[in-house]
Amino acid sequence: MNNSYVIGVDYGSDSVRSVLVDAGNGREISSAVFYYPRWKRGEYCDASSSQFRQHPLDYIEGLETTIRECLRKAGDVDIAKAVKAISVDTTGSTPVAVNEQGIPLALLDQFADNPNAMFVLWKDHTAVHEAQQINDHARKFDVDYLQYVGGIYSSEWFWAKLLHVLRADKDVRESLYTWVEHCDYIPFLLTGGGHASTIKRSVCAAGHKSLWAAEFGGLPPNSFFSTLDPVLDGIVDRLFTDTYTSAEAAGTLSEEWASRLGLSTDVVVGVGAFDCHMGAVGGQIEPYYLSKVMGTSTCDMLVAPKEEIADTLVRGICGQVDGSIIPGMIGMEAGQSAFGDAYAWFKQVLMWPLTNILGDASSLNEEEKAKVFELIEDQLIPQLSKKAEALPVTAASEMAVDWFNGRRTPDADQTLKGALMGLHLGTDAAKIFRSIVEATCFGAKSIVDRFIEQGIPVKGLIGLGGVAKKSPYIMQTMADVMNMPIRIHKTEQTCAIGAAMFAATAAGLYPRVEDAMDAMGQGFERTYEPRAEQVAIYAQRYAYYKKLGAFIEAKNE
């Protein structure tokens, strides 16, 4: 273990971050971040139609740049020689069409600017219609192929996105060999894979998004898909049967990538996984504690021993899969389609005058305009939080529903919309912001309630990610709404650190990922306790939130 280092790579929605970590104690040696340039320019996306696509070059350039920068910052050539493994986590479900050689079609000249040949980001909701068709179609079969994904298939997932792309684009349909998750593509790339059939698919992505289950012997049969739409005929035969946990190796660095990164071809590349799953490990998840990775959206993970779960299936979550988070345990996933994104939306609304009017102000020079814009952009959410925290909470306070990007769980429905209610002439920005914060916390509580209602206890909460670290107001509101403590992990980059823990396990430095967690975990920095006086009022407001949500849902039918 002496002088052994690992690299964790965390692909987020707008950037990729790599961390170089001491495998013996989890100490972060260096880190680097790369913001996707094409994504930053808004290319290939159309928010009005919920289309969010990312070019593979953003991912590939970011991979090389951040790892090389980590090694440069470390400043010691011996560290590079002592790197044992790399593991990667990504957003998901974020799949892409590839050819027979496993090359994303967008890397070919004829598809270089075709959004349908690019990665379909997790929050792309262009496949709402296809998801509903899958749900309707599944009810025709004796076998319930949706039973391990909560009983409802989502437009955010693998098959719905594939069907939408195949229907929308004849050229992509004729050139596609198979369909690959981002977390499975990057290890394939790093190991120099030459044929799509050799891609090692993670049980994480396969079980939670692709309808793979050991109980089915793999994926549903071709007949399930061909009778849904003939464009899917034969696709399942070009996908996969076997899956792998992230504690296993996908291979070692190819000569090309070893040279590009300045590392050895002996470096092990671990099987990939979704960011939230590796984040839960980086945040030292425990059985029956709901680990919440809180960023633009939330992913809520819970692990439990197989023998204790037995035949219990939780309806309306994002699946439960043997080995998807920690090998040997059942991993369960839920989450919210908008969390930080809800706050970002409101910030964007309030920034409208600066974005649209400040540029035309002749009384200010460009430097002054930039300073004004930067000041307000940086201070808007912190000041709103400060003002909102000071407001008294009453049963009649403004109310919001958090479905600004649809609803992920419980019971996925991306057609639902958010709402604000109870506004009056005394309602100001801080009060609206407070209602949005409360709504995101109420949405989180509905997930906990679903687990408990379906027979899975929730003993406590673990907060991970940027929002958990940076917003005491939101976290205290969460504890009050949930009426349970929430522990905040010390590590800023739990997803990347979790990837590093899996890298250490895949390289054989630890026999189990639990051992890597114990040795490399950094512990918790604080705990938010529920306040009795707030718990009672939030219980009333939560009941109101549920009634308002039910009204919106009924009107949506």
Paired tokens of 343: 């706050």
Task: Say whether pLDDT at 157 is over 90.
Answer: yes
Residue located via tokens 């709901």: 290
Query: What is the distance between the alpha carbons of residues 508 and 511, in angstroms, rounded to a whole number?
Result: 6
Q: What is the pTM of this model?
A: 0.90
Residue located via tokens 């593979």: 56
CB proximity list for 457: less than 8 A, separation 6 or greater? 288, 451
Q: What percent of the chain has pLDDT over 90?
A: 91
Q: What's the length of the chain? A: 557
Region 153-174: what's the mean pLDDT? 97
Instruction: For residue 20, give the nearest of 34, 4, 8 by alpha carbon.
Output: 8
Q: Using pLDDT thresholds of 50, 70 and 90, give the confidence band for residue 534.
A: very high
Query: What is the distance between the alpha carbons of residues 506 and 69, in angstroms, rounded to a whole number?
Result: 23
479-500: pLDDT as tens digits: 999 999 999 999 889 999 999 9
- Average pLDDT value for the chain: 95
- pLDDT, residue 13, reads 92
Q: Using pLDDT thresholds of 50, 70 and 90, give the confidence band for residue 459.
A: very high
Q: What percent of the chain has pLDDT over 70?
A: 100
Q: Using pLDDT thresholds of 50, 70 and 90, give the confidence band for residue 362.
A: confident
Task: Say whether pLDDT at 1 is over 60.
Answer: no
| DSSP code string of 363-420 | TS-HHHHHHHHHHHHHHHHHHHHHHHHTSPP-TTS-EEE--BTBB-SSS-BTT---EE
Give the domains, in start order, of the chain with CATH numbers. 5-283+492-522 (3.30.420.40), 340-490+525-556 (3.30.420.40)
Residue located via tokens 């040696």: 29
- pLDDT, residue 365, reads 86
- pLDDT, residue 492, reads 85
- pLDDT, residue 557, reads 73
Q: Using pLDDT thresholds of 50, 70 and 90, give the confidence band for residue 77.
A: confident
Region 233-246: what's the mean pLDDT? 97
Where b means 16+ CB within 10 Å and e means fewer, 215-225 reads eeebbbeeebb
Task: Say whether pLDDT at 350 is over 70.
Answer: yes
Angle at 79 between CA 74 and CA 82, to 5 degrees: 150
Region 399-423: what's the mean pLDDT? 94
102-128: pLDDT as tens digits: 999 999 999 999 999 999 999 999 999
Q: What is the number of other CB atoms lying within 10 angstroms of the CB of residue 212?
A: 25
Listed ranges 176-185, 309-318, 458-467; the one with the highest mean pLDDT: 176-185
Residue located via tokens 């997932």: 157
Region 345-352: what's the mean pLDDT? 95
Paired tokens of 53: 């696509």
Burial class (CB in 10 A: 0-12, 13-18, 19+), 255: exposed
Angle, in degrees to the nearest 10, between helices 532-556 and 429-453: 80
More confident residue, 295 or 489: 489
Q: Using pLDDT thresholds of 50, 70 and 90, give the confidence band for residue 509.
A: very high
Q: What is the number of other CB atoms lying within 10 angstroms of the CB of residue 237?
A: 11
- The counts of H helices and E strands in the chain are 21, 21
Task: Say whether pLDDT at 2 is over 80.
Answer: no
Q: How many CA atoms lie within 13 A of 96 on its CB side?
A: 31
Task: Say whether pLDDT at 533 is over 90.
Answer: yes
